[in-house]
Amino acid sequence: MDSSRVTPGPDFPSGPDSPSGPDFLGVPAAPTVFPRLGYSVLSVLMGVNTVLSVLNNSLVVAVVLRSPSVLGPMSAIILGLAVSDLMIALCGSLIVTITNYRGSFFLGDAVCVFQGFAVNYFGLVSLCTLTLLAYERYNVICKPQAGFKLNMRRSRMGLLFVWVFCLFWAVAPLLGWSSYGPEGVQTSCSLGWEERSWSNYSYLILYTLLCFIIPVIVIIYCYAKVLKSMRKLNRSVELQGGHSCVEENERAIRMVFFMITAFFVCWMPYTVLSVVVVVDPELHIPPLLATMPMYFAKTSPVYNPIIYFLSNKQFRAAALEVLSCGRYIPRGPAAPGLAMRTLYRRKRLNNLSTRASAHNRVLPLCKFDPLAAVIHRLELKFLDAVKELLPLGNKALLDELLLGSPACSLGPQHVNLNLRMNWSPRC
């Protein structure tokens, strides 16, 4: 590792017990550039971050793998996000916890490069998977008649593209386009921000554009369309004499707000540092300030499972079942998921058990998606309002069409109703 890239700091007594002394393998440590108390605080914070990240994402993986009925197309994306976040915790946060405890990165060049590569790779995978999740939610909720059906093959192809695309940007610094090295307070490794070369600048510019700016645009656009569709559906409910869905609207707005805010908190500092380095190469960045972007990025594995999965009641019930080793059994009428309760309601209205069984195969599309569950609750209110306007015979026809439609959608081409709306509910 180029010693010129390590920022010198205050001298500490050398020796096996000193924060900058050699480790038991005899590998020389980088100089310490931060007060010893500061390293201890960072070590504690990253230790808590590591424990929460491992627990949260391990729980998501266990729930998805334990329940065969959950292994639907959306669950493949959920599993991919949880695995990438788990690897960030193990390859990034855990190592940083240990090195901060010692007060220096004492593990040597190879581990430094590995950590920089792993955090960069799995961080990009997590970021791009969130973008893929937003795009698929947009298709499922907003474009039910456009022919975009989320199936296992589509999910796998999307995940394959994400992992290969991110692998390119993570491997490029290993081949000479930019580099990996120690950063900031010298207890973690990442991209070589301080390297002053056109090769590094070109990498940072394209990296920022393709791996942050475009994903941000996609995420904001998709969730804005989802909220617009919710408002449209709410108006349709009111037009059909139903009650206003203020609670569902507010819940969806809060969820989208937290999703976008968490994304920016995680990745905006990283992007700002990239832009600043390119715009003003001579600007001196204090070590602690140069380290903070990577620490923000390492917090995403903590709140991603909470925002995207644990906010769903059915997922929480499945998580309790996993944590209790199968002894926890949900009680009361809320035991089935929202989509399953919808199915049971339709089965009671007319006994179409065969078609209900076929319809059950597409329910995992939104089974553990909290945002889709909110949309689905709006759909139920809309359907109830429509049924009140139909004669008894048409109510049975409506239920039959809903159970028989593989897209789980209701559209004007199926039922000749003058609803004065273009929204087609779909789970």
Per-residue confidence of the chain (427 residues) as pLDDT tens digits? 444 343 333 333 333 344 444 443 333 344 455 678 888 888 999 999 999 999 999 988 888 888 756 556 777 888 899 999 999 999 989 999 999 998 888 888 899 999 999 999 999 999 999 999 888 888 877 776 655 667 778 888 999 999 999 999 999 999 989 889 888 788 888 888 777 788 888 898 899 899 889 998 999 998 888 888 777 776 766 655 555 556 666 776 777 788 788 888 888 887 888 788 778 777 777 877 878 888 888 888 998 888 877 777 777 777 888 787 766 665 544 433 333 333 334 334 333 333 333 333 333 344 455 565 555 555 555 555 544 444 444 444 444 434 333 333 333 333 333 333 333 434 3
Tokens linked to 72? 């639907």
pLDDT at 392: 44
Task: Write down the residue that tokens 């950063």 correspond to.
Answer: 183
pLDDT at 228: 83
Task: Write down the residue that tokens 């192809």 correspond to.
Answer: 157
3-class DSSP state of 426: strand
Residue 84 resides in a domain: yes
Residue 414 resides in a domain: no
pLDDT at 294: 80
Closest by Cα among 286, 292, 243, 242 to 265: 292
Residue 99 resides in a domain: yes
Residue 400 resides in a domain: no
Q: CB-based contacts of 313: which residues, under 8 Å, 6+ apart?
A: 334, 338, 373
Residue 126 resides in a domain: yes
* Domain CATH code at residue 299: 1.20.1070.10
Q: Which domain covers residue 140, as residue numbers? A: 17-318
Closest by Cα among 79, 67, 54 to 309: 79
pLDDT at 171: 95
pLDDT at 328: 66
What's the total number of domains in the chain? 1
Residue 347 resides in a domain: no
The DSSP output letter for 8 is P
Residue 422 resides in a domain: no
> Chain centroid to CA 193: how far?
26
CA distance 413 to 416: 7
Q: Is the pTM of this model over 0.75?
A: no
> Chain centroid to CA 29: how far?
35
Residue 127 resides in a domain: yes
